[in-house]
Amino acid sequence: MKNLSKHRYDYFLIWGNGLEYRENIINIIAECNFLEILKITNYKTSNIKKFIRKVYSYDYAPFEHLRAKTRYLLKSSPEIVVIFVLNKNPDERWYGEGLFKHIECMKVKKLKEKLRNQFNPTVNGKRTEEHVVHSSDNEIQTENMLKIMGFKRGLDTFRTQKHSLLDLPYYLPKINKFTIKQVCMSKLYCNVLSGNHNEYLLQRKPVTSSPHYLSLKRNDMKLYSKYINCFMGGPLNSYYSVKKFKSLIRNLIYPNEKSYIIVEKMESDKFLILDGLHRASILMFRNKVEIPVILVEQ
Amino acid sequence: MKIKKLDLNEFFSVLETIPYVLVKKSKSFPDYHTGQDADIFCYNKREVVRKILGVGNGYLSDGYVIKTEGISPDHCQVDFVHNNVLVFKFDIFTAFPEYEKLSIKNHYFNSIIEGAVGVKCKFRDKKYHLYVPSSVDDLLIRYFEYLEYYDRRPDKLKHLDYILNAIEKTGKMRIGFFDKLHIYTEFPESNMSTSRYKYGFKIKNFLHWLVPLRKRFESLKHSMKFFFK
């Protein structure tokens, strides 16, 4: 069997009964080389029954077949976490029989089973079928899930930079005109969150006041860890981890023509970082005085 | 203050691994005058831009600013600016620019890249190949420019002199030039098919019918007026 497409978008959903393993599950997904976490979204529903129906509306089996299988979810918390990923090397194959025959990525299926084996509740040492994780079989399901989460553009949410001259994160608008110039590190500002997951405040501060830089300066990753655990899935919807940050600290080579720190101009010759706060913090910690950045033209 | 010169050999040595051609290479290459540009034809403009930026990073500390702009899906520009003065421009194309006066078949663009000729150059004592179009392709590209702009930009007349000089030298070149010209170009679509013409024609046609109708209506109105009097 050969792959039918070069890459595709998938998602993993952590049901309420698996939220206690949230961090572990996200880290296992992040460690898979064929996946790149694009977005983590927390979602609270007022009607879990309706939500389950929506999630399974693009499934191959009619919902009547799934009703018994999903009954346990009605008792679980109405909170869920959805992790959208870029599947860089899907292994798509036909799966199932007769009416329910469909194409699935074997790698995603294998990972889902691994997570279920590890985190599903057990009875007498045996795994139950009360799944903590659900995943997509195809991109249509991912599109549907994005729309349920309120991203009306569906998969186009991730495809904004398709024709851009540089590799840019999906959450930035398409940048067609930019200037690369040297700027003084002391003129770089960033958005820092304060408060809690549900009620937070965004403040503009110099890079030296960010939890990223302070963790490096104090040689204490707890500050950074606390910050990302507090806001990831909410206002911070990319994937961050201490491990990932430490790896960046070791391997960062900057400037790099593939990835620049992206800034926009604030008042009086100050620049706000739109993408690259981690890199800026590391460079600041390395005592760099000036660095090249991409200045986005308004 | 003296501006540090860009070393064009450095830029083109890193492009050696990807398919491209430097079109209308100036005789003074790698030297250039302020404001000069280099037209590059390639398949993947992202890759070319990345390579140029990779080298360009080294000039930022000398006061250069690099301005990049996507002009169209097939055209982007990378400008090296110093103290608000354009020093050098890279014009990167992934298809022929839109010409008004002639129509060039799309696959000629690929043919130019595939038929590229490597010119031996040196960057820091290391040899590399600079890729330029074959001599016939070079003449044709200059001819296209001449045809498109001779009435608007007198500086493009230089292309015609260049072509005539080259063609007169060998008969083989002349045959190749006309062969390719006839294979890869065609007359642009006639104005008759443009929407402006079509709608203009429709309006004219409508007016043509409207005038007699109006006359008939006037006479009918007149006779009715007479009848009801």
Q: What is the pLDDT of residue B95?
A: 92
The stretches of chain A forming alpha helices (DSSP H) are 22-30, 48-55, 63-67, 106-119, 139-148, 211-218, 222-231, 242-251, 277-285
Q: What would the mean pLDDT of A208-230 be, rounded to a whole number?
A: 94
Residue B69 contacts A where some CB pair is shorter than 8 Å: yes
Cβ contacts of B69 on chain A, cutoff 8 Å: 176-178
Q: What would the mean pLDDT of A191-206 be, rounded to a whole number?
A: 90
pLDDT confidence band for A1 (50 / 70 / 90): very low
What single letter denotes the amino acid at residue A176? N
CA proximity to B59, closest of B114, B8, B113: B8
User: What is the β-pairing status of strands A261-265 and A200-206?
Assistant: unpaired
Q: What is the pLDDT of residue A3?
A: 45
Question: Which of the pair, A213 or A104, is modelled with greater confidence?
Answer: A213
| Residues A265-283 pLDDT 10s | 998 889 999 999 999 999 9
Chain A interface test: which of B62, B69, B80, B93 (most A C-beta within 10 Å): B69
| Residues B9-23 pLDDT 10s | 999 999 999 999 999
* Cα–Cα dist A228/A239, whole Å: 9
Say whether A165 and B51 touch across the interface (CB within 8 A).
no
Cβ contacts of B49 on chain A, cutoff 8 Å: 165-166
Q: What is the pLDDT of residue B204?
A: 67
Q: What is the pLDDT of residue A215?
A: 96
pTM of the entire predicted model: 0.78
Cβ contacts of A258 on chain B, cutoff 8 Å: 50
CA angle A100, A102, A103 (to 5 degrees): 165
Distant-in-sequence, close-in-space partners of A3: CB < 8 Å, separation ≥ 6 = A89, A90, A91, A92
Which residue from A165, A179, A181 is facing B49, i.e. has the nearest CB? A165
C-alpha distance from B39 to closest chain A C-alpha (Å): 17
> Is A28 exposed, middle or buried (CB count within 10 Å of its CB: 0-12, 13-18, 19+)?
middle
pLDDT confidence band for A29 (50 / 70 / 90): very high
Cβ contacts of B46 on chain A, cutoff 8 Å: 165-166
Residue A290 contacts B where some CB pair is shorter than 8 Å: yes
Cβ contacts of B61 on chain A, cutoff 8 Å: 182, 290
Residue A21 reports pLDDT greater than 70: yes
Write out residues 156-215 of A within 8 Å (CB-CB) of B: 163-166, 176-182
Residue B103 contacts A where some CB pair is shorter than 8 Å: no
What single letter denotes the amino acid at residue B170? T
Q: What is the pLDDT of residue A53?
A: 86
Residue A100 reports pLDDT greater than 90: no
User: What is the β-pairing status of strands A8-14 and A79-87?
Assistant: antiparallel
Question: Which of the pair, B221 or A114, is modelled with greater confidence?
Answer: A114
Say whether A176 and B70 touch across the interface (CB within 8 A).
yes
Which residue from B46, B51, B57 is facing A165, i.e. has the nearest CB? B46
Query: Which residue stretches of chain B have pLDDT < 70?
Result: 1, 150, 154, 156-157, 170-171, 187-209, 211, 225-229
As a whole number, the mean pLDDT across chain A is: 89
B157-169 and B171-184 are packed helices; what angle lies between their axes, rounded to 10 degrees? 130
Residue B73 contacts A where some CB pair is shorter than 8 Å: yes
Q: What would the mean pLDDT of A259-264 be, rounded to a whole number?
A: 92
| Residues B170-208 pLDDT 10s | 667 777 777 777 777 776 666 555 566 566 666 666 666
Residue A157 reports pLDDT greater than 60: yes
CA-based nearest residue in chain B for residue A254:
B57
Q: What would the mean pLDDT of A92-109 be, rounded to a whole number?
A: 84
Which residue from A177, A255, A257 is facing B69, i.e. has the nearest CB? A177
Chain B interface test: which of A160, A163, A165 (most B C-beta within 10 Å): A165
CB distance B74 to B93 below 8 Å? yes
Question: For chains A and B, what is the number of CB pairs under 8 angstroms?
Answer: 49
Question: Which of the pair, A58 or B37, is modelled with greater confidence?
Answer: B37
Say whether A178 and B50 touch across the interface (CB within 8 A).
no
Which residue from A176, A180, A290 is facing B66, i.e. has the nearest CB? A180
Say whether B57 and A176 touch across the interface (CB within 8 A).
no
C-alpha distance from B99 to closest chain A C-alpha (Å): 23
Q: What is the pLDDT of residue B136?
A: 87
* Cα–Cα dist B65/B82, whole Å: 6
| Residues A160-187 pLDDT 10s | 665 578 778 888 887 888 999 999 999 9
Residue A59 reports pLDDT greater than 70: yes
Q: What is the pLDDT of residue A55?
A: 87
